[in-house]
Amino acid sequence: NAPVKLGLVVPRWVCINTLLISTQKARQHLSDEGFTLKSYSPKTYEKFLQSIQDLGKWDYMEDFHFAEVLVFSASTAVMSSTLVSSGKLLLQDKVSWLSPFVSAVQPGDVVLDACAAPGNKSTVLAGLMANQGKLICIERDPERFTVLKKRVKHHGVRNVLFINEDFTSVDPSELQGVTTILLDPSCSNSGLEMNTDSASVSGERYRRLADMQFQLLSFALSLPSVQSVVYSTCSVQSIENEEVVARALQQFTNFELDDLSLKLKDWRSFGDENYSFAKKVLRTQTFYDLCHGFFVAKFVARRVFLNGKT
Ligand code: SAM
């Protein structure tokens, strides 16, 4: 089934910040402010995508995949809701839920957000961890680091340690005990552009980005206590996605890809079919999923067999 192009009315995605409000209370509050929760039938992804294109200014729907993600029309008034100014509703795309979701972090885990600013995914991770355990947020750029700290604190994240350094220069002893890494490095951002004319961007630029992404991924996969690394980009270019993953799989044979294909109902956007692991990684496509173009892969440590036992 090839993805259907539905047109270009891209809606406004919003995430409920579960650290500050429950999904039920958020819905109640939105209703008090005059918003109406709409439903659709049948409950298929296809029907959902059609229905969100018909939302009125005061309507919204729960996302098909994540109950904590809401979708409003492009002309929505939700930006002036007090839930937004108080940090209880986060004005961020559905894809900012995708990589924290596949990371499957739990309360009590030790988690590293290795390229964290401005912190969209850090808050989602802390929410999934219910502020328990430890979340280490690393950001290299000093200005972006300041924004990250301010936003993440405003969003109620408490279990956090901030480090303003290049991830690859951090002393691994500072990262002892980290089992899960979310790596969302700088990329071409081609998934944020409506018209992804790859010919307008030089191949050399993509190559530089891909080498930097591979270097960061290699560092993540080299840390001794790490059990899983979620690699994501806002790029739709295979060179920054599947090619980086393929190089890492070749070098780090102690890791394999988790099969993400069955983790989300009705998911239909997968990897570049030129790669053998295409069906194990997820993509989103603006033309089909009506959200940012995104890529996510999850590396998991292979189980070590000793004397026939795991
Ligand atoms: N994960 C973030 C979110 O969801 O809000 C978005 C991350 S953005 C795509 C990439 C970030 O990584 C940028 O803020 C960039 O400054 C930072 N970065 C790039 N290279 C880095 C490195 N070597 N070490 C630490 N941070 C880095």
Of 137, 187, 234, 291, catalytic: 234
* Cβ(100)–Cβ(182) below 8 Å: yes
Write down the pTM of the prediction: 0.94
* 3-state SS record for 245-279: HHHHHHHCCCEEECCCCCCCCCCCCECCCCCCCHH
Position in ligand 1 atom list of the atom nearest CA 113: 1
pLDDT per residue as tens digits for the range 115-148: 999 999 999 999 999 999 999 999 999 999 999 9
**How would you label 269-284 residue by residue, b for 16+ Cβ within 10 Å and e otherwise?**
eebbeebebeebbbbb
pLDDT per residue as tens digits for the range 150-168: 999 999 999 999 999 999 9
State in Å, rounded, how far the first CA of the chain is from the last one: 39
Domains of the chain: residue spans and CATH: 12-90 (3.30.70.1170), 95-301 (3.40.50.150)
* 3-state SS record for the chain: CCCCCCCCCCCEEEEECCCCCCHHHHHHHHHHCCCEECCCCCCCHHHHHHHHHHCCCCEEEECCCCCCEEEECCCCCHHHCHHHHCCCEECCCCHHHHHHHHHCCCCCCEEEECCCCCCHHHHHHHHHCCCCCEEEEECCCHHHHHHHHHHHHHCCCCCEEEECCCHHHCCHHHHCCCCEEEECCCCCCHHHCCCCCHHHCCHHHHHHHHHHHHHHHHHHHHCCCCCEEEEEECCCCHHHCHHHHHHHHHHCCCEEECCCCCCCCCCCCECCCCCCCHHHCEEECHHHHCCCCEEEEEEEECCCCECCEC
Ligand 1 centroid – CA 80 distance (Å): 28
139 is in an annotated binding site: yes
pLDDT per residue as tens digits for the range 190-237: 998 765 455 556 788 999 999 999 999 999 999 999 999 999 999 999
Assess whether pLDDT exceeds 50 at residue 25.
Answer: yes
184 is in an annotated binding site: yes
ipTM, two decimals: 0.99
Whose structure tokens read 């930097």?
212
The whole-angstrom separation of Cα 64 and Cα 7 is: 19
174 is in an annotated binding site: no
- Annotated active-site residue 137? The verdict is no
* Mean pLDDT (the chain, rounded): 93
The whole-angstrom separation of Cα 110 and Cα 144 is: 23
**Residue 308 burial by CB count (10 A; 0-12/13-18/19+): exposed, middle or buried?**
exposed
Check residues 287 and 222 and name the one with the higher pLDDT: 222
Nearest CA to ligand 1 atom 18: 115
Q: Is 144 in the pocket of ligand 1 (CB under 6 A)?
A: yes
